[in-house]
Structure 1
Amino acid sequence: MTTTGTNDLGGFLRTRRERLTPDAAGIAPGLSHRRVPGLRREELAELAGVSVGYYTRLEQGASSSASPAVIDALAAALRLDRAEHEHLRILAAPGRPSPSRSRRSRLRPSVRDLLAAIPGTPAIVIDHRADVLGWNRLGHALLAGHLDADAPDAQIRPNIARMLFLDPHHRALHHDWSAKAQVTVAALHHASARHPADTALERRIGELASRSPEFARMWARRPVRICSYHVRELRHPLIGRVTLANETLTLPDDDQQIGLFHARPGTPDADALTLLAQSLDRRPAPESTPQKENTR
């Protein structure tokens, strides 16, 4: 299954054209029968002010780039939101130059020290492939207590997307699994557009698409969503149901993100995190020997 690097621009345009109804686009329904609810190519081309032939070449992959003016016109005609518009610009960039990102991401020692410096807040660091590069003790206990604490240092790292779709323990953690899954797939789509030469990312997406029909269906819809804040309701095996704010901070230059999970002070959710932290204090310190991910 081809997942990235082949007519991403055309595929994205097609999904958005098929999503937009004539009524939403301000087009009279007409008398002819429609086989699909979305716009026809000629209707979108007219709305965007381009020729039908040119738009067809874009959608079919015969043209892999378009001018900024055409992209802006298409975005307006398709009623794209800001994140989708930016995604379309990335896909249409001439040549889409990108250095290969297949090399293994590394966590800077200063970021590792930062994780340890916030022991009272669950924290995790991932790269653009959703590979876990590090977590503090509370972050590990909250999100992946069934995995070895040293797993991010292993040769095979935990991967948030892989855990979400293929690991039943992690899947059960999320009360609204579908919402979390869609955000994760959207993030991988965004990463794939920005790093088309990343073969490691392509292999990860291919594995998920072949092993999870749910992932394959979500991926085919080409979701795009960029959001740094969510409210997560988790069902934790030790502390029960807990609702936490999830803030995502992007690290400059490293293409990595820190995820922080926190609760409002004085709430039952904050008490639950305190209880989880206290349970860690009663456990023996983990061994430092790197372990492999056990979600295969």
Structure 2
Amino acid sequence: MELRHLRYFIAVAEYESVRVASERIHITQPAISRQIQDLEAELGVSLFVRTKRGLRLTEAGAVFLAEARQILSHLEAAVGTTRQVASGVEGHLRVGFVENAGWDGVVPAIFNRFQQEAHKVSIELVPLYTPAQLETIENRSLDGGFVYLFDPLPEKFSVLSLCRHDVMLAVPRTWDMPENEAVAMCSLIGKPFITFQRGVYPAYYDRLIAACVQAGLTPNVVQEVTTEAAILSLVSAGVGAAIVNAANLGRPPAQAKFVPVAGFSMPLPLAFVHLADNANPALARFLTLLRDYREDAAALP
């Protein structure tokens, strides 16, 4: 049984005439009659009876008509869904991101734009630090991720550079430091500091410590933790100060304050990374929006 058998059968049933069905679907009468005969032979039942007024469905024919319509309806829906998935209109996308990059700027903006333009694509957001994202992207558990990159990646990765964030000083609100005035790095000598554990992201850790030392400060590290949220919690508790991502300005803790450090900068290059051979159409659509967003941002004064 082929789809044309169902389509010819439905046409004849609806028009109650092989001749009228032939005119409507532009298939010759002999071809339609032959397909109906083949269908009845395959089913082993009569689908029509002839009357003076034309063809009438048998009881079995009426049941088969309802089923045939449902089959074609399901098929059309499947075709439509498949085409939408292939074009990135529907589907599923798993995206990683460094959590503090999601408070403001490109990351929330592109998620918002994508949901407006591809609202039938479900997005699963996974907060992970850069090394964990890269590992998860490589094993194909993530389609891509927003990461901070300091070193080139293997050729199997594609990288779309987006912007640069920077760092700033976070101190307990109880410390006697003005929020809007830059402090000298030398004024922080001997102050207690909280940092990441080096194993969380060695490239970031090494650059941060090196930048501090170059600026004249060897941090007096009193505690190391695994997340920047934990760092800011300890800063809020008065344990010490920390050099943190300036993206945290998008969600400042109530018991900490952010202070600029005079002459100190450590750029954090934000990029979107994915495997070059990832064929997910939803990812391709996401990348198109990302490139458009980057071009729009570059055009701003």
- TM norm structure 1: 0.21
More strand by share: 2
- TM norm structure 2: 0.21
